[in-house]
Amino acid sequence: MYPKLFTHIKKHVSLTDADEALITNKLTLTKLRKKTFILQPGKICQGNYFILKGCVRMYFVNKKLTEQITQFGLENWWLADYDSLYNQKPSTYYLQAVEDCELLLLTPQHETELISAIPQLQTYFRNMFEKSVIAAQRRIHYISSMNDEELYREFSRLFPEFIQRVPQYMLASYLGFTPQFLSRIRAKKV
Amino acid sequence: MYPKLFTHIKKHVSLTDADEALITNKLTLTKLRKKTFILQPGKICQGNYFILKGCVRMYFVNKKLTEQITQFGLENWWLADYDSLYNQKPSTYYLQAVEDCELLLLTPQHETELISAIPQLQTYFRNMFEKSVIAAQRRIHYISSMNDEELYREFSRLFPEFIQRVPQYMLASYLGFTPQFLSRIRAKKV
DNA sequence: TAAAAAAATGAATCCAGTTTAAGAAATTAA
DNA sequence: TTAATTTCTTAAACTGGATTCATTTTTTTA
């Protein structure tokens, strides 16, 4: 039913057709128009979202009342406010579709049921979190070793297709500076 | 054999005495004097370390040739350069004992063997990574919403015992500023 | 008890990034 | 197609949080 998801899972563990059917049953497909909110501050994150199609951003509003993006999600990524989800506490974030999106929602209950039925999914999710930890470790390294201009250049080098995909002001927000500054960096000769 | 570790694991999953014996067999106890290196740049991280006693820091040397601490590890934490460990690539970090330490080393091979024998350990490790992801998400939030002084004050509020435990210059390095600046913050009245 | 390491303090300085503002360009809606 | 909205660019003035350098005091270690 969701070949993109199954292909992704099978890169890590094996699945039978029966497994796939079971997984399909436990997931909820959501199609969202651009700018739709998936989560808002005060609400508890409903589950873990697998992105079949589209782009999602996670952000909060800081003291200066500007949006501060902390994370983007793209195709084949799982995304959630895990602090809210696993500790069942109100989120402080917005999750919002940046493009029209197709998401699969997996609630904690369904996740537990799935893992009981298909134990190797525990390995799959462990691998997902492992990758997230590595990504976070790298991000901390970048942040603490580069200035804002270097951050932008490194980010463009690593994800050239991505910077075409989101508005520049979102990129600036994610990287932690103003859109004007980003515009100036781009105007500069390298 | 390692009650502190077993207690920790049992907060997440159950273990039989036989399980505990098996785990004991797969771990290597290392006692380290303060300032001893556990990992150095260019080397591949040997495994995942559980800290029974002491404090460890992870750092790299930046362009200005100053030490930049990215992480501390304390009792009952697992610590490793996961990028190096799981992708088997040379590390860019130092891992060093800040105090005299007792660590348990779990190599990837032994980890695989243990998880085959005791499947619920997969759940345990999944939970550990989950917690790491949440911690990283929070850290990104702090970094992107506070200035250096606020970061320090929040950090002291959250971990008052910890700031007593490490030299100030290490704390400054972890928080991303100079020891002089930290000294100035402390001298200030709140 | 000497030596080394860590912390405090003062003063001068700085520049990476913000702010403000206004116009151009691109996208979206209707 | 046009109007409305959103996004991007550019430029000039500015700023203040944080660094640097240099010296003294305190604490830790051998």
Q: Which residue segments constitute the domains of chain B, with CATH numbers given?
A: 1-119 (2.60.120.10), 139-190 (no CATH)
Burial class (CB within 10 angstroms; exposed 0-12, middle 13-18, buried 19+) of A111: middle
Using the CB atom, is residue B169 less than 7 Å from strand C? yes
User: Cβ A141–B92 below 8 Å, yes or no?
Assistant: yes
**A180: nearest nucleotide, CA–C1' criterion:** D9
B82 CB near a chain A CB, below 8 Å? yes
Quick: pLDDT tens for B47-94: 999 999 999 999 999 888 899 999 999 999 999 999 999 999 999 999
DSSP letter at B13 equals S
- For residues B110 and B26, the answer to whether their CB atoms sit within 8 Å is yes
What is the reported pLDDT for B189? 59
Q: What is the mean pLDDT of residues A129-142?
A: 97
State which H helix or E strand residue B104 sits in: strand B101-106
What residues contact B16, with CB distance under 8 A and at least 6 apart? none
Quick: pLDDT tens for B167-178: 999 999 999 999
- Please give the structure tokens belonging to residue A31: 């199609």
Per-residue pLDDT band for A63 (boundaries 50, 70, 90) equals confident
- Please give the structure tokens belonging to residue A28: 């909820």
Phi, psi of B50 (to 5 degrees): -100, 130
Counted across chains A and B, CB pairs separated by less than 8 A come out at 89
Q: What is the mean pLDDT of residues B8-32?
A: 97
B122 CB near a chain A CB, below 8 Å? yes
Q: What is the mean pLDDT of residues B98-123?
A: 97
Sort out which chain A residues have CB atoms less than 8 A from B83's CB and list them.
134, 137-138
Phi, psi of B68 (to 5 degrees): -115, 110
What is the reported pLDDT for A190? 55
Sort out which chain B residues have CB atoms less than 8 A from A71's CB and list them.
137, 140
Sort out which chain B residues have CB atoms less than 8 A from A126's CB and list them.
122, 125-126, 129
What is the reported pLDDT for A65? 86
Cα–Cα distance measured from residue A182 to residue A149, given in angstroms and rounded to the nearest whole number: 8
A153 CB near a chain B CB, below 8 Å? no
A37 CB near a chain B CB, below 8 Å? no
What is the reported pLDDT for B63? 86
Q: How far does CA B169 lie from the centroid of its chain?
A: 18
The average confidence (pLDDT) of chain B is 95
What is the CA A157 to C1' D4 distance in angstroms? 36
DSSP letter at B29 equals E
